[in-house]
Amino acid sequence: MRKKLGFMSAREEDEELIQQLLDLMQSYKQDYTNTFRALTLKKFEGSFFQSGEFQHWYQRYQERIKDQHPIETEKLMKQHNPSVIPRNHRVEEALEAAVERGDLSAMKKLLSILSNPYAYSEEQEEYCTLPECPDKPYITYCGT
């Protein structure tokens, strides 16, 4: 977790700072991967990042990393926070195109995007979006 937050060394207050972030993420129902991606890129969009609770946490976080070199901090974070993960809705889109239309282009693109999940490339941007909230719970099956 320290590496995900870009901490170059261990400090006594780290555990509390980490737990506070995880608690905030849970409270605001934040996506795990995208939250750490946003922290890595310092791209704070949405109500969670504008909330007073996050702003307070972020001030403490900035204080924690103030003695570190910003480029090295970002580099460490990029090495430990994937920019993209194989989201179910993207996998299903690719499978549907392949099975129903015989179109493998979506699968090839997805595999290309996922081949280097830590690239932080422009091509990965569209694969970071979350699916719309479904009307019913999502069910996966073994072998999917």
What is the pTM for the complete model shown? 0.88
pLDDT tens sequence for the chain (144 residues): 999 999 999 999 999 999 999 999 999 999 999 999 999 999 999 999 999 999 999 999 999 999 999 999 999 999 999 999 999 899 999 999 999 999 999 999 999 999 999 999 999 999 999 887 766 666 666 665
Domain ranges for the chain = 14-80, 88-127
CA neighbor of 85 nearest in space, from 46, 23, 42, 31: 31
CA distance 81 to 39: 9
